[in-house]
Amino acid sequence: MENQLLAIALAPLFGAIVAGLFGRQIGRAGAHWITILAVAVSTVLSLDVLRRFLFEDMEPFNQNVYTWLESGGISFSIGFLVDKLTAVMMSVVTFVSLMVHIYTIGYMKDDPGYQRFFAYISLFTFSMLMLVMANNFLQLFFGWEAVGLVSYLLIGFWYKKPTAIFANLKAFLVNRVGDFGFLLGIAAVLLYFGTLDYQQVFDTAPGLSGATIEIFEGKPWNLMTVVCILLFIGAMGKSAQAPLHVWLPDSMEGPTPISALIHAATMVTAGIFMVARMSPLFELTETALSFVLVIGAITAFFMGLIGIVQNDIKRVVAYSTLSQLGYMTAALGASAYSAAVFHLMTHAFFKALLFLGAGSVIIALHHQQDMRNMGGLRKYMPITWITGIIGTLALIGFPGFSGFYSKDAIISAVSTIDRAGAGFAQWMLVAGVFVTALYSFRLLYLTFHGETRMDEETRSHAHESPWVVTVPLVLLAIPSVGISWWAAEPMLFGDFWGQAIVMEHDSLAHLREIWTGPLGFALHGFVTLPVWLALAGAGLATYIYLFNPGIADRIQGALKPLHTLLDRKYWFDEIYQALFAGGSRLLGKGLWKGGDEALIDGLVVNGSARTVGWLSGVVRWLQTGRLYTYAFAMIIGLIAMLGAFVLWAR
Decide: 298 and 429 in contact? Cβ < 8 Å: no
Q: What would the 3-class secondary structure string for 379-419 be?
A: HCCHHHHHHHHHHHHHHHCCCCCHHHHHHHHHHHHHHHCCC
Q: CB atoms < 10 A from the CB of 383, how many?
A: 18
Percent of the chain with pLDDT over 70: 98
| Chain mean pLDDT for the chain | 89
Q: Would you say residue 57 has pLDDT above 90?
A: no
pLDDT at position 266 over 80? no
Indicate whether this model's pTM tops 0.75: yes
Helix, coil or strand: residue 77: strand
Decide if 115 contacts 28 (C-beta within 8 A). Answer: yes
> Residue 44 — very low, low, confident or very high, per pLDDT cuts 50/70/90?
very high
- Closest by CA position to 243, among listed 184, 295, 319: 295
pLDDT digits (tens, 9 = 90+) for 383-392: 999 999 999 9
pLDDT level of residue 123 (50, 70, 90 thresholds): very high
| Rounded Cα gap, residues 207 and 205, in angstroms | 5
Output the CA–CA distances (angstroms, integers) from residue 206 to 18, 203, 282, in the order listed.
47, 7, 11
Contact yes or no for 42/125 (Cβ under 8 A): yes
Q: Exposure string (b/e) for 174-188, b if CB count within 10 Å is 16 or more? A: bbebbbebbbbbbeb
Q: Which residues are within 8 A (CB) of 649 and not within 5 positions of it... i.e. 6 or more apart?
A: none
Q: Write the single-letter amino acid at 353.
A: L
**How confident is the model at residue 26, as a pLDDT?**
92
Q: Of 277, 289, 258, whose CA–CA distance to 140 is shortest?
A: 277
461 against 561, higher pLDDT: 561
Other beta carbons less than 10 A from residue 194's beta carbon: 14
Strands 74-82 and 219-222: what pairing? unpaired
Q: Which letter, b or e, does each residue of 514-524 get, where b requires 16 or more Cβ atoms within 10 Å of its Cβ?
A: ebeebeebbee
- Three-class secondary structure of residue 517 per DSSP: coil
Using 50, 70 and 90 to split pLDDT, how confident is the model at 622? low
Contact yes or no for 400/486 (Cβ under 8 A):
no
Cα(190)–Cα(183) distance, integer angstroms = 11
Q: Quote the pLDDT of residue 265.
A: 61
Residue 461's SS3 state is helix
- Percent of the chain residues past pLDDT 90, beyond the cut: 59
DSSP annotation of 268 reads G
Task: Find out whether 467 and 109 touch, Cβ atoms under 8 Å.
Answer: no
Q: Are 131 and 144 in contact (CB under 8 A)?
A: yes
First to last CA, the chain: 99
> How far is it, in rounded angstroms, from Cα 319 to Cα 339?
21
Q: Is the peptide bond before 280 cis (omega within 30 degrees of 0)?
A: no
Question: What Rg value do the Cα atoms of the chain yield, rounded?
Answer: 31
Assign 330 to helix, strand or coil.
Answer: helix
159-213: pLDDT as tens digits = 888 999 999 899 999 999 999 999 999 999 999 999 999 999 999 999 988 888 8
Backbone angles phi, psi at 535, to 5 degrees: -65, -35
Q: What is the pLDDT of residue 411?
A: 94
Pairing mode, strands 212-216 and 74-82: unpaired
Confidence at 478, pLDDT banded by 50, 70, 90: very high
Q: Pick the residue with more confidence: 144 or 500?
A: 144
Residues in the chain: 650
pLDDT at 604 over 80: no
pLDDT higher for 455 or 171?
171
More confident residue, 336 or 625: 336
Q: Under a CB-based contact definition with an 8 Å cutoff, are residues 62 and 80 in contact? A: yes
Residue 448 has pLDDT above 90, yes or no: yes
Q: Strand, helix or coil at 495? A: coil
250-254, 401-405, 617-621: segment of lowest average pLDDT:
617-621
Segment 330-350 shows an average pLDDT of 93
CA distances, 193 to each of 214, 215, 355 (Å):
16, 17, 42
- The confidence score (pLDDT) of residue 222 equals 92
Q: 108: which residues sit within 8 A by CB, 6+ positions away?
A: 114, 117, 255, 257
Is a pLDDT exceeding 80 seen at residue 511? yes
Closest to 154 in 3D by CA, of 111, 218, 211, 93: 111
Q: Are 387 and 353 a contacting pair, CB within 8 Å?
A: yes
Q: pLDDT band at residue 367, thresholds of 50, 70 and 90?
A: confident
Q: What is the pLDDT of residues 305-322, one digit of tens each?
A: 999 999 999 999 999 999
pLDDT of residue 650: 64
Question: What is the C-alpha separation between 342 and 410, in angstroms, rounded?
Answer: 10
pLDDT at 617 over 80: no
- Average pLDDT score over residue span 405-430: 92
Confidence check: pLDDT of 264 > 70: no
Residue 468 near residue 103, CB atoms below 8 Å: yes
CA distance 39 to 15: 8
Residue 557 pLDDT > 70, yes or no? yes
Average pLDDT over residues 443-471: 87
